[in-house]
Amino acid sequence: MANPPSTAGEQTHAHPKPNYVGVFAWLTGFTLVELFVSFMPAELDSIKVPLLVVFAILKASLVVLYYMHLRYDSRFYALLLLSGVFFAVLVGRFLPAVQK
């Protein structure tokens, strides 16, 4: 199980520095591809929608892993984030029942 990070000691953690500009280039590239995909005809919705969702998850993962440094940081932070995402999915799943 992940342990909470220590609250004592040094101010910052030393970890490898990601290529921030490279990550930005990927994010911009994925966004342009998303725009291209969004113009696909409605008949191709069965491909279009999953593609858009995959690109959104890829972009969000890049930001979380490299800009928010979750790849190098305490796993406890990842646990906090994933529990938030889990409950968000749960809320989304049961939303229609509440709306009825």
Partner 1 sequence: MTHSVEEHPSHEIHLPKPSYWPMFLGIGFALLMLGFLFWRSTATEALGQGLMIGGLVVMLGAIGGWVATNIRARVRDHAEVLGGPEAAKLAMWTFIGTECIIFGGLIAHMIYLWLRDTDVNHALHNLEALLIVSVNTFFLLTSSLCVVLGLAAIQRGERLGLAKWLAGTAVLGAAFIGIQAYEYSKLFAEDITLTSSQFGSGFFFLTGFHGLHVFVGVMWALVLLVYTLRGGFTREAHMGYEVFGLYWHFVDVVWIFIFTLVYLL
Residues in the site for partner 1, rule: CB under 8 A? 4-12, 17, 20-21, 24, 27-28, 31, 34-35, 37-38, 42, 45, 49, 52-53, 55-56, 59-60, 63-64, 67-68, 76-77, 80-81, 83-85, 87-89, 91-92, 95-96, 99
Beta carbon nearer to partner 1, 1 or 8: 8
H or E element at residue 72: none
Q: At closest approach, how far in Å is the CB of 80 from partner 1?
A: 4
Query: Residue 70 and residue 90: Cα distance in Å, rounded?
Result: 23
d(CA 54, CA 60): 10
Minimum distance between the CB of residue 68 and partner 1, rounded to whole angstroms? Answer: 5
In the complex, the smallest distance separating the C-beta of residue 91 from partner 1, rounded to whole angstroms, is 4
Which one-letter DSSP state was computed for residue 39?
A: T
Of 1 and 96, CB closest to partner 1: 96
Could you tell me how far CA 93 lies from the centroid of its own chain?
19
Q: How far apart are the C-alpha atoms of 47 and 74, rounded to whole Å?
A: 37
